[in-house]
Each structure stands twice: as C-alpha cells, then as structure tokens.
Amino acid sequence: MNKLPIHSRSDTAGEVRVGVDSATGSYDVLYGSGLIGNLSALMLREKAVIRPTSENTGIFVLSSPRVSRHWQAKIMRGIGPRTVRSTVLFDDRERMKNIATVERVCRQLVRLGADRRALLVAVGGGVVGDVSGYVAASYLRGVRLVHIPTTLVAQVDSAIGGKTGVNLPEGKNLVGAFYSPQLVVADPETLSTLPDREFRSGIYEVIKYGVIGDTRLFSYLEQNIERLAERDLATLDFVIPRCIRAKARVVSRDEREAGLREILNFGHTFAHAFETATAYRRYLHGEAVGWGMIAAARLAALVGRFDAEEALRIESLVRRVGPLPPLPPTGRSAGVDRLIEIMRSDKKTRGGKLRFVLPRAIGKVETVAGISRERVRDVLSALSKRP
Ligand SMILES: NC(=O)c1ccc[n+]([C@@H]2O[C@H](COP(=O)([O-])OP(=O)(O)OC[C@H]3O[C@@H](n4cnc5c(N)ncnc54)[C@H](O)[C@@H]3O)[C@@H](O)[C@H]2O)c1
Ligand SMILES: [Zn+2]
C-alpha cells in the first residue's frame, strides 16, 4: 500500500552513517533509502553477523503482524531467506508492551532453538524495538541485536540510545535495561506504509530536536513542514539524519541521563501528564509532546526566560503539523490540579519539585526547577480556554 511519493533507490550511494558511543558497546546507525533491500551485504560488511556458521546460529526476526504484513517479504529478501531461522511475531499495541509479551517471545526463542550465538533483528516501531531490545538484553543474559526501525519515532528516537523496556500496570517503561544493538538500519522507504496520524506524531519529536539544539533544523521545518508531512524523500533525507545525529550526540555524552540527556524531555513533563490524565487513550505520544511543547514554550515566556515571539514560533510550527486531539479538561480547577499532581509524581521529578526543560532561545534549552504551581496553572488554564 504505497501511497507515497517515495522513490525506490536500489543503490546505497546516499547512505549516512552516525556512530553512537556506549558503555554497553558502540554501534553505528545507517540511514538511507533502499538499505533494507541489501541487509545481508550490509550486516556482513558491518560484521554484525550473518552466515550460518558455527559462530552464529542464525537470525531470528522479531516483528509485529502489522509491520510484517507490509515489510516481511522485503526484509526476508534483503537478509536472504535461508539465513533467517525463524520469525517471531507479537502484538505491538502499547498495552501489550509488557512482561508477558517478553516472556512469550523468550519462550518461543527457546522452542525455536535460539542459543547465545543467535542474532535478533527487530523490525518495527518503538514498541517492537523496546520489547525486542529487552528480550535481547535478557534472553540467555544477552544476545546480539539489530534494529530496523519502521516508524518516524523509531528512526529519529527510540532505536537510538540503548534504552529498552516494557510497561507495568503501574506505569510506562518501568522495567528495562540499557542494551546496545550491533547496528541500526533506518530506511525511509519503510515509512511509506505508516498511517498518516502515526507519521505526523513523529514530526512533533522532530520539531523537538530543532528547539533543543538545532536552529537550522527549526528554520528548515518552518520552510518545509508540509513537505515533510507529505514524506517527500529529499525532505526526509535532510531531516532524519539530522535528528539521528542529535540523538546520538546527546546519548553518547550522557548515556544514563545524568544531565544532558534530560534535554530530550523538552515538552515531555506536560506530555506525560496529558497522556496519564487521559489513560493513554486520547493521544499518540508525539501528539501529547506537541501540546507539551506549546505549554513549555508558553511557560518559559510567562516566567520571563524566553521571548514571547519565539514562543509563538514554536507554537505555530506545532500547530501547522495538524489538528491535535483536545487537551484534558483543564478548565475546571480540579483538572489542573490533577495534571500538576501527575507532573509532581513524574519519574523525572526530584524531591516533589516541578522541573521543566524550558527554551532560552530556539536551539537552546535548560532545566528549570522550582517553578510555582501558579504559573503552571496559568499556562494550563489559558491553553484550555483558547486552545
Ligand atoms: N527506547 C526509547 O528510547 C524510546 C524513545 C521514544 C519512544 N519509545 C517507545 O516507543 C513506543 C512508540 O513507538 P512508535 O511511535 O514507533 O509507535 P509503535 O511502535 O506503537 O507503532 C505505531 C503503529 O504503527 C505500526 N507500524 C509500525 N511501522 C509501520 C510501518 N512501516 N507501516 C505501517 N505500520 C507500521 C505499528 O504496528 C503500530 O500499530 C512507545 O512505547 C514509547 O515508549 C521508546
Ligand atoms: Zn517522546
């Protein structure tokens, strides 16, 4: 179901390589159109694996039924059907990102004969990547992993940085591990089958990279946001590698979130509150981040840390991506208090103090603690009155 203006390029001339340094092993992220058609040669070249010799016991593809429907045949051809020992499919709905799914996948791997020398190839969005990453980290205390991210979010964010894990009924991503893949292969062609809402949701995270550290990307998006939404290949080729580089830079310097990595949470304190208050049903994650960035930009301007005109630039860019589902009911004061309480219990909060990543300028953000509830309340009330 290729409804996009994405052209197939069989050569890999336009390939981009970005290195990520990690305590659990350094690896490269490769980006380029047509790369998945050539996986076998790529993995051989990158020494990530391949070849059913005594050194490795074959490749196990982990994916979901939906992703597999679109991409399984191409991936199999790319890896070489005889090299793939088996494919394990699991439901990639967010509510299935849990320990039960990890257990099921691990048990299947045992039954399929995967040993320590197996290689897992995760093909899918963030849910497939997070589950597969955790499986790879824990199955037989660690087997090799290659990520093939197939959503915009996964290509610019979740497949890079080594965070893996699953949800508990008590909250998101509460059980997990840092675990490096051998290789990440991001092919923009795979985005051609992504539903429009999912693709747009990824654009908000792209905007985030502009605000937190890349003025040029931000201006480019102001010029080209519609083209990006149409998935124009030249636009993807500019945007995605820039985001990959930004994420790689941040996580390489601060793998375990001591400081710098925190800037990736721009818009996310508000976003998590919006998602939690609506029981994860109303928004795709990126959409909540869209609202979160608007709220954070307004908050920064309100407390005098950020130029109001610049805040408006962020807001209008976010709004150009498309309509956002409505905010949780913040008009009533009980609604606002609930949101503030959720933010105070966010796992990134320290000592119950509200902390926000706020822009100083477009391209520069900082973490600010101790902002009063009243200012946060002002922002939320104003937003809900004139959303
Ligand atoms: N590990 C990290 O650092 C990190 C960072 C950001 C987000 N995440 C996690 O990622 C998850 C969200 O990931 P996501 O936004 O990629 O969504 P997703 O994995 O939920 O995928 C969205 C939907 O698109 C489908 N899909 C995926 N690729 C497709 C394709 N090419 N064509 C058609 N359909 C396709 C999936 O089946 C799914 O229904 C969340 O669980 C979040 O917590 C993790
Ligand atoms: Zn996010």
Per-residue pLDDT of the chain (387 residues; tens, 9 = 90+): 333 333 333 444 579 999 999 888 899 999 999 999 999 889 888 876 655 455 667 899 999 999 999 999 999 999 988 889 999 999 999 999 999 999 999 999 999 999 999 999 999 999 999 999 999 999 999 999 999 999 999 999 999 999 999 999 888 899 999 999 999 999 999 999 999 999 999 999 999 999 999 999 999 999 999 999 999 999 999 999 999 999 999 999 877 767 788 999 999 999 999 999 998 899 999 999 999 999 999 999 999 999 999 999 999 999 999 999 999 876 556 788 889 988 888 766 666 678 999 999 999 999 999 899 999 999 999 998 766
| Nearest listed ligand to the Cα of residue 265 | 2
CB crowding 198-233: b at 16 or more within 10 Å, else e: bbbbbbbbbbbbbbbbbeebbebbeebbebbbebbb
- Ligand 2 mean position, distance from CA 226 (Å): 21
Nearest residue to 150 (alpha-carbon basis) of 202, 208, 209: 202
Ligand 1, pocket-test mutation among 164, 198, 204, 264, most atoms within 8 A of CB: 198
Q: What pLDDT does residue 82 have?
A: 83
Contact 50, 43 (CB under 8 A): yes
Distance CA 306, CA 312 (A): 11
| CA-proximal residue: ligand 1, atom 10 (nearest) | 126
Atom of ligand 1 nearest to the CA of 163: 1
Residue 101 CB less than 6 A away from ligand 1: no
Q: Which residue has the tokens 């949470």?
A: 265
Contact 156, 188 (CB under 8 A): no
| CA-proximal residue: ligand 1, atom 11 (nearest) | 126
| Nearest listed ligand to the Cα of residue 172 | 1
Nearest residue to 314 (alpha-carbon basis) of 242, 227, 209: 209
- Ligand 1 mean position, distance from CA 248 (Å): 19
- Ligand 1 mean position, distance from CA 151 (Å): 6
Distance CA 30, CA 42 (A): 10
User: Which residues have C-beta within 8 Å of that of residue 277, sequence separation ≥ 6?
Assistant: 328, 335, 338, 339, 342
Q: What pLDDT does residue 347 have?
A: 62
Residue 127 CB less than 6 A away from ligand 1: yes
Distance CA 223, CA 206 (A): 14
User: Which residues have C-beta within 8 Å of that of residue 354, sequence separation ≥ 6?
Assistant: 269, 340, 343, 344, 369, 370, 371, 373, 376
DSSP H or E stretch at residue 206: helix 196-213
Ligand 1, pocket-test mutation among 2, 64, 127, 189, most atoms within 8 A of CB: 127
Atom of ligand 1 nearest to the CA of 65: 37
